[in-house]
Structure 1
């Protein structure tokens, strides 16, 4: 049974993985045996993240490549570099994303487009380049990181809600076109996850109380809560799972 979830010998790219959830998912894949390529737009921060993760694994298991996931040409060059220098890309985790909190009546179109480009279009661009290499081999795993905002909405985050809703349907569209070629494309939708980037929300007594009351599990999620589902979707254990978005939210989206 353990062989179903063993990623030894597989190559994974995790976008937006120099910190936060992306960094935790990269470590989870490496713990399962994968060779992991980190990605970010800040070369210095990315190299620091690579060095920190590489210290925990044998030489050659961790690499990195800095590129802008919203740039189609950069995505094509970077995926080609991985194929040539690291090995055939088996797993892609589309994790890169940003947030922008402004009421819709005050939202600048440029900020709308920036969030949509980073949170949705990037998954199309990098996913398409990965698929160009995966399809001829007849295998590949693409995991899109959605959100509870895939299903829900809150004031002031309209572009994020639109992008994450679109990402679920992009996951379905990828499945419709690529499943017959041996690819499995799925998403996970994290709930509210306690990381260094959400610490200010955890420290907000009113918001923290709302999260605890709104979540049946009565706690925030942790990056570790996402590790098992991502490893499963990246592994042979999910070879007949396709087009699904799995909510990992302590039950938040199933209650009123």
Structure 2
């Protein structure tokens, strides 16, 4: 069966209309790493509006405090706490998990949205800066998962979502570190899902696995990450990169951050059955994608990036 063209979505559409998720996450505790601004901030708002108690986390104190205050201003019994933490420091991750658990309860939903990017030809990149991207977007989310997963396994319940990118499945130039990191975390999500499908039944004795893992492509949402992705070295030594990316940007529709935010709620609310372990493209109609996936025979060896 050939892969069909799915409907492009740039904002709210029927499958992710917010009103249908009111109260759907009541009683759930969500941690959104990288939620002080941009897409992560929108995800925190969407989760809170759906009833979840939300832990907002980021490196910048002002942004974390502002987002937490704004989420709490939604009223209606919304619960939210803000925690400033550097996800690249293991002790900070341990403190983050501890403070969320003590303040709100065991974590039911983990969304890792922290990220960084630098547009630069590989031969110009600094090795330490290159690996810093891998640390932020691969090592940190996997270590955070390692800390939270045992509780989910014991309860046989949980949702894990990693912000990835379509770059995981495409050879896009000028962002080797970013693309390699997104490919790695997407692969990790698929492999972890397969492992849990086996372990929760065969080792932990549950009838079925109740933990779902996803990675998402949020779309080319214009955020501060895009504004800061061109260092002076790129502008001076590789101006063609800036020109190339500017041309590509003009080709993209105006993607809204609300689309990945409410797609996360859709997945967290249990509507993603059939998409577990996969890279979910938030810019395509998720109901159409799910219908196609469910109608396609599952291969013996799956491909999370496919």
TM-score (norm 2): 0.72
The answer to whether structure 1 residue 116 and structure 2 residue 134 are counterparts is yes
Q: Which has the higher contact order (CA 8 A, sep 6+)?
A: 2
What is the deviation of 1:133?
1.6
Aligned 1:238-253 pairs, distance under 5 A = 238-239=272-273, 241-249=275-283
C-alpha distance after superposition, 1:84-137 (max 9, x if no partner): 221121100010000122211111110011110011111101111111221111
What is the deviation of 1:55?
1.4
> Structure 2 vs 1, CA of residues 238 and 206 (structure 1 numbering), >3 Å: closer, same or farther?
closer
Contact preservation (8 Å) 1:35, 1:60: yes
Consecutive unaligned residues in structure 2, runs of 5 or more:
1-19, 201-208, 230-241, 286-306
Bigger CA drift: 89-98 or 222-231? 222-231
The answer to whether structure 1 residue 34 and structure 2 residue 85 are counterparts is no
Paired position in structure 2 for 1:128: 146
> Structure 2 vs 1, CA of residues 139 and 32 (structure 1 numbering), >3 Å: closer, same or farther?
same
Paired position in structure 2 for 1:183: 211
What is the deviation of 1:230?
0.6
- Kindly report the root-mean-square deviation, in angstroms, between the aligned alpha carbons of the 2 structures: 2.6
Consecutive unaligned residues in structure 1, runs of 5 or more:
252-256
What is the deviation of 1:196?
5.0
> Structure 2 vs 1, CA of residues 46 and 6 (structure 1 numbering), >3 Å: closer, same or farther?
same
Contact preservation (8 Å) 1:10, 1:91: yes
Contact preservation (8 Å) 2:43, 2:262: no
In the alignment, the residues of structure 1 paired with residue 39 and residue 220 of structure 2 have an alpha-carbon distance, to the nearest angstrom, of: 11
Q: How many residues of Structure 1 are paired with residues of Structure 2 in the alignment? A: 245
In the alignment, the residues of structure 1 paired with residue 152 and residue 284 of structure 2 have an alpha-carbon distance, to the nearest angstrom, of: 33
| Larger gyration radius, structure 1 or structure 2 | 2
